[in-house]
Structure 1
Amino acid sequence: MPRRTATLLASTLMFIVLIIAGLLIPVPYAEMSPGPTVNTLGDHGGEPVLQISREKTYPTTGHLNMTTVRVTGPDYRMNLLEAVYGWLDPDSAVVPHKTLYPEGQTAEQADQQNAEEFSQSQESAKVAALRELHKPVATQTVVRSVVKDKPADGLLHAGDVIKAVDGTEIKQPGDVAKLVTKHKPGEKAVFTIIPVKQAAAVEKQGEKPETGARQVTVTTQKADGGRAIVGIQAGVDHVFPFPIDIKLADVGGPSAGLMFALGIMDKLTPDDLTGGKFVAGTGTIDDAGKVGPIGGISMKTIAAREQGAEFFLTPKANCATAARNTPQGLRLVKVDTIGDAVKALEKIRGGDLDGLPSCGPAGRK
């Protein structure tokens, strides 16, 4: 066999071996890419994303799009070729697997965490929006979780509203533990509660939260240190003056909080917040209206621009990263609170673009 032919054959075989190895060798990475965006002012899956009952709402125009990131699942293991392709693709990001999924976390646990974060973001979005509009939002203490095989298991349930313990009114979650630990282990604690199903029905019907209260007796148990416990964790829930439902399936995580809050505000005020403009954005939000950072900001700006967004509300803490590769024609607007976002929208609809707080370049044209 001629030397040139042998060299070519060896090179070809080596290339085939490398391709096979690249397909078979798993690497500890995950991929992020631009995900769907949804207008919080519009419909999704055939129904409005935001549904507000028993309160006057107003027509809206334009877009207030929440943005998402598409990621490989916790159980998916990329091969070497996929990782290299992802590194070369400017519209995706390959990151260490543990960055997205803690070591040992199962797919079910990841889904559960995302669902809980998404639910909490909706709750905080409602609170922040209503408080920004100076509408009343009451709080109540609820059973956040029940420990399996502890005394309260089967007697109290997550979501039950705790009105009193041993006849003493509960004003905040910490009151529950203080009253329970006044008992000696083995003594009975009497909880005055509104069962979770009753509480949900009461809120839906717009009745007073006190409706349907009943007493449940739980025998305390000795815990580490000798104190008495019943095996629950108490938390805070909010009582809204009217129902606000957020209908959006197949989305998880906390990053849509800001855009949900702005969408709620837009529907509850006669002012058109966007002035017909296409605004997208992201950011967590807490009950006080503070906007927090999120992951995958570059993927979200790409997704927003691909859908036609001209402005992107960007958490202050994400500004530096987002500004490194701003999509052409997209203007990054820096926000730190829901109040900042409302002021920015006022400037956008009024055409005062020079007054917008920017993350960096005003957007390449």
Structure 2
Amino acid sequence: MFRRSMTLLVAVVLLVGLAVGAMYLPVPYLVASPGLALNTIGEVEGEQVIHVEGEESYEHDGELAMVTVQYSGGPGAHMDMFTVLSAWLSPNQAVLPEEALFPPDQSLEEINESQDLQMDDSQTAATAAALNELDIDYDIRSVVMGVGEDMPASGELAKGDVITEVDGEPVAGKDETVEQVSDREPGDPVELTVLRDGETEKFELTTTDDDGTALIGIMVGNDMEFPFDVEITVGEVGGPSAGMMFALGIMDRLTPEGLTGGETIAGSGTIEPDGTVGGVSGVEQKVVSAAEEGADYFLVAEDSCGQAMSSAASDEVDVVKVGELGDAVDALEDIRDGADPADLPSC
């Protein structure tokens, strides 16, 4: 009887030990937590986050804070079940599958490179959007970013070529170039005027068919030449989600009155050169970051409204819905004028 009891006790102890040990085995999940808040019209380590050179700029009170999400886990830093369950129960954290941030077909270096590129692109787009909102002219050129193999442009056009004309008509930017090239029947010729190494060259290509659309097999991007320099310094932060707050920060630097009226404003959203504000991920945690920063208002893209209102901190800040940069500017003007938060566009 004693031996049987001891055997049962040892079995129970082993099972408990295995259960406890299993809680600390690595699992393929990420934990998203509120990250840092960075004032885009402030300074980091004595250096302006947004620095304008070649144009008069201004400094104002208040904050225009870009907020971030901090991710734990990923390749080389797996989460254990205990940590994941704790995060699952936390109102300020979220649990995501690892592949949501780290696709299995991409290396960590490729992911970091992509995040850095998205950050660079968002800063350029933010500058363009801010200048558009302020009616400041700038030049935009259509640049070849890549050439497909075995396509009409292969062996003719090259990465870095600036397309200045299509069929003798000037084009400014990738949208005009794509529209002009595709505005014909597949198989029809197209003449491109290209600036390469300071020299002008002409190429006549025969378009090919892509589901009824004429194309020549190039990737085209925008190269924007601004009338002054705008430098943005944010350290190791990557991704495109700070675009809207960058654009507002640039406008604040270029505007004598300023945008915040001394208020602390946070927000998150991508930006396009035409001012379109797009949704982002991790907004639940970003609203918490905004509340911890002491923000009175949180500007959010309409596409992210659901996330914002489901945040544990949604009742601590006034969430303002924006679809375009101009909407954010109008909301900030109302805030400066002392508008009732209930009268601002909300989710």
Asked if Structure 1 and Structure 2 have the same fold, meaning a TM-score greater than 0.5 normalized by the shorter chain, the answer is yes
Measured after TM superposition, the shift of residue 68 of structure 1 is 0.9
Paired position in structure 1 for 2:27? 27
Moved more, 61-70 or 103-112: 103-112
Paired position in structure 1 for 2:177? 173
Question: Equivalents in 2 of 1:148, 1:51: separation in Å?
Answer: 41
CA displacement, residues 325-358 of structure 1 (integer Å, 9 cap, x when unaligned): 3425322122222111112112222221245435
Measured after TM superposition, the shift of residue 220 of structure 1 is 8.5
CA displacement, residues 180-232 of structure 1 (integer Å, 9 cap, x when unaligned): x8779xxxx9964254xxxxxxxxxxxxxxxxx2257999899999xxx9974
The alignment covers a number of residue pairs equal to 336
CA displacement, residues 137-160 of structure 1 (integer Å, 9 cap, x when unaligned): 3321112235689987899444x4
Residue identity matched to 1:136: D
Change (3 A) 1:310 1:170: closer
Paired position in structure 1 for 2:98? 97
TM-score (norm 2): 0.81
Paired position in structure 1 for 2:199? 214
Question: Equivalents in 2 of 1:221, 1:34: separation in Å?
Answer: 53
Question: Equivalents in 2 of 1:324, 1:234: separation in Å?
Answer: 39
Paired position in structure 2 for 1:193? 195
Change (3 A) 1:119 1:217: same
Paired position in structure 2 for 1:339? 326
Paired position in structure 2 for 1:349? 336
Residue 167 of structure 1 contacts residue 192 of structure 1 at CA under 8 Å; is this kept in 2? no
Paired position in structure 2 for 1:162? 163
Change (3 A) 1:108 1:324: same
Change (3 A) 1:326 1:343: farther
After superposition, residues 1-365 of structure 1 pair within 5 angstroms as 1=2, 9-24=10-25, 26-72=26-72, 74-76=74-76, 77-146=78-147, 156-158=158-160, 160-163=161-164, 170-171=171-172, 172-174=176-178, 192-193=194-195, 195=197, 213-215=198-200, 232-327=218-313, 329-357=316-344, 359=346
Question: Equivalents in 1 of 2:319, 2:247: separation in Å?
Answer: 19
Question: Equivalents in 1 of 2:309, 2:336: separation in Å?
Answer: 23
Residue identity matched to 2:126: A
Helix, strand or coil: the match of 1:41? coil
Question: Equivalents in 2 of 1:311, 1:70: separation in Å?
Answer: 21
Measured after TM superposition, the shift of residue 103 of structure 1 is 4.1
Change (3 A) 1:234 1:323: closer
Moved more, 297-306 or 71-80: 71-80
Measured after TM superposition, the shift of residue 237 of structure 1 is 2.1
Say what the alpha-carbon RMSD is for the aligned residues: 3.5
Residue identity matched to 2:177: P
Residue 333 of structure 1 contacts residue 356 of structure 1 at CA under 8 Å; is this kept in 2? no
Residue identity matched to 1:214: E
For structure 2, the 5+ residue unaligned runs are: none
Helix, strand or coil: the match of 1:173? helix
Residue identity matched to 2:90: D
Helix, strand or coil: the match of 1:61? coil
Question: Equivalents in 1 of 2:116, 2:70: separation in Å?
Answer: 15
Helix, strand or coil: the match of 2:320? strand
Question: Equivalents in 1 of 2:301, 2:170: separation in Å?
Answer: 40
Residue 347 of structure 1 contacts residue 355 of structure 1 at CA under 8 Å; is this kept in 2? no
Question: Equivalents in 2 of 1:190, 1:357: separation in Å?
Answer: 49
TM-score (norm 1): 0.78
Residue 208 of structure 2 contacts residue 216 of structure 2 at CA under 8 Å; is this kept in 1? no
Moved more, 13-22 or 256-265: 13-22
